[in-house]
Structure 1
Amino acid sequence: MTGIFWINPVIALCTGIFLSFLLRKLNARIQSRRGPVIRVPPAWRDINRTKILQPLYDILKLFSKSTFIPEKASPFFIMGPVMALVCAVLATFFVPIAGISFDYSFGLVVLFYLLMGEILCVIVGGVASGSLFAVIGGVREIELMLTNEIPFILGTFALAISYNTLSVSEMMGFNLVTNPFAAIVVFLSILVKLHIKPFDISDAESEIVSGLTTEYSGKLLGTLEVTKLMMIFVLVALFADLFLWVPSSGIIAWLVFFAGVGFTTVLIGLVHSLFGRFRIDQATWWLLKVPLVISVFAVVWAAMWRYVL
């Protein structure tokens, strides 16, 4: 089903809205708050109409507001969010959605570049604002990226060794059982990429306002929020495809895919709600000490699974 991969960005955006709602709802319930409601009680109809589309309402509100450009900002301040969104949209083409994707033989490598490109565009755009908060957030983001990308690449490359391919579509399967080390390290890397606690250091509101996005407003901030929704879907869907996929077709394929996506999102929400924030030195040291070691085990395990067992 590779011929209709052009619908992937639409599915990614629509599903990303629901996943963002799910994360908010789960976080609120764990903290004994109501959070966005699914069914609005009759008595609330005049004061609360959020329901499940609250993330979309927030974005539409941003696009309706004026965009302020800092006096010291360079052109990269505007280009950063736009290019980040382009990278996120292109990434959806290479992540199979119930088997639908652009089945390129080196799709995994292209996906690496697009995911890294999205982060770099946000960093460049934020730092170009001239804000000290953005600079601090950018430094933290770079430190996290340098310590997180290697475990992420090794974790996914372990599956490439097992399947002897760099096509994401060809390495899909229930690899949570066949290579649990890769599943653990990729999941941890996704937490870092999505700024999930304890790795939300680069946009810590209580310390540096919003970090890289502090100076963004209006349509540019709305563009970044759309990018965030799509990145949530891309990374969650990638994990579901690589580690929770059960070969199927038709309506069963869609049910299996969205079940995996929902399960992964719930796990991410639980981690975000139950853990506090690392300091940047704690995070980088932990990433070098735990995920990096596990990723090496994942590669060794994959090599043994293919050549020895």
Structure 2
Amino acid sequence: IQPFRDVRKILIKETIVPDGAVSWLFNAAPIICLVVTIVLVLYIPVFGQRALLDGFGDSILILYLLIVPSLAFVAGGFASSSPYATVGAQREMVIMMSYEFSLALVIVAIAWRILPLTDADPFMLSTVAAYPIWNLVGPLGIVGAVILLFALLTVTPGEVSKVPFDIAEAETEIAGGILVEYSGRNLALFYLSDMLKAFVIVSLIVALFFPYNLSPVIGISASIPAAIVDGLFFLVKVFVIMFVSVMLIRTAMARFKISQASYIYLIAMTLISLVGLILIGVDLML
């Protein structure tokens, strides 16, 4: 609740555009960031229900849309004319280019395993929900899926700019980085989009790896009670994944250098994701 109280307070503060800033881009960046993040929510199955825009886009579209808030974030940093924000924007670009390949490999691996089983688009999250990866694979595939899940959990703090991958903001080094010149409504919009993006990323992990509902297991068939049970079960899954991938790591680790973070995502996580993809491919051929 406290983050939402903070956003409410920031919303009523004065919005200041610094001298020398590209004002239209400076003001447009947080709006674009929030709007695209809201659109992303519409493509993700949440609370145990189908996505509102299910059938109008697949996980490849989601992958592309996930890049847009980061690009808007970077554009806002460059537009602010602050040297701190410029450094933060450069770091954000490096991190973004480093982790996207791992995320793409995870999505491709799951779709590849589903492809022989159905004529439906294997990249659709509704298809992934109908063919959960754990129900399809043998021992090698299970190892591969666990590796892919680990890679995706590692990518999550980078996607949402949390410690130890909050290098683009780094208050103790570059005074908040990209956000250093933002205030009032614009800062609140960035905060809201950041919270929503965290929800989107964790919900995507649930959709890809844990698309199960609880109501069929405990024998609830009535629509409203089933929706309530499945919604609560979804929130439990979201909390557990958020705790493991963000909260626990944030507490246990210090901030990485940009070179370390780039190596972890671009080299280590990419190789790990490739191993998971290969294991699932071998499992498919057996």
Task: Report the TM-score, using the length of structure 1 for normalisation.
Answer: 0.79
State the Cα distance separating 1:301 from its structure 2 match.
2.1
Residue in structure 2 matched with residue 167 of structure 1 by the alignment? 124
The answer to whether the 8 A contact 1:85-1:226 is kept is yes
Structure 2 residue corresponding to 1:131, chosen from 75, 79, 82: 82
Residue 100 of structure 2, aligned match among 125, 149, 164 = 149
Residues 162-186 of structure 1 deviation map (CA, whole Å, 9 limit, x = unaligned): 1221101221336498311211111
- Does the CA contact (< 8 Å) of 2:164 and 2:250 recur in 1? yes
How do 1:260-279 residues align onto structure 2 when only pairs under 5 Å count? 260-267=237-244, 268-279=246-257
Deviates more, 1:255-264 or 1:111-120: 255-264
* 1:301 lines up with 2:251 in the alignment: no
Shift of 1:252: 3.5
Deviation digits for residues 280-302 of structure 1, max 9, x if unmatched? 11111222332011110122122
Alignment gaps of 5+ in structure 1:
1-52
1:206 aligns to what SS in structure 2? helix
For the residue of structure 1 that corresponds to 2:162, the secondary structure is coil
Is the alpha carbon distance of 1:215 and 1:155 closer, same or farther for their aligned partners in structure 2, counting shifts above 3 Å?
same
Q: In the aligned structure 2, how far is the partner of 1:157 from the partner of 1:247? A: 24
Deviation above 6 Å: which 4+ runs of structure 1? none
Unmatched 5+ stretches in structure 2: 116-121, 136-140, 216-225
Larger mean Cα displacement after TM superposition, 292-301 or 81-90: 292-301
1:146 is matched by which residue type in structure 2?
M
Q: Deviations over 1:165-222 (max 9, x none)?
A: 1101221336498311211111111111111222111110000011111100000001
Secondary structure, aligned partner of 1:290: helix
Residue number in structure 1 paired with 2:36: 87
Offset of 1:304 from its aligned partner?
A: 2.2
- What count of residue pairs does the alignment treat as equivalent? 256
CA-to-aligned-CA distance 1:87-113 (integer Å, 9 cap, x gap): 100000111011230212641011111
* Identity value in percent: 27
Query: Aligned partners of 2:49, 2:133: CA distance in 1, in Å?
Result: 14
2:36 and 2:134 mapped to 1: Cα distance?
27
- Is the 2:43–2:57 contact (alpha carbons within 8 Å) kept by the matching residues of 1? no
- TM-score norm. by structure 2 comes to 0.85
RMSD: 1.7
Report 1 or 2 for greater relative contact order, CA contacts < 8 Å, sequence distance ≥ 6. 2
Q: Deviations over 1:122-180 (max 9, x none)?
A: 11012101010110001111111111110111112211111221101221336498311
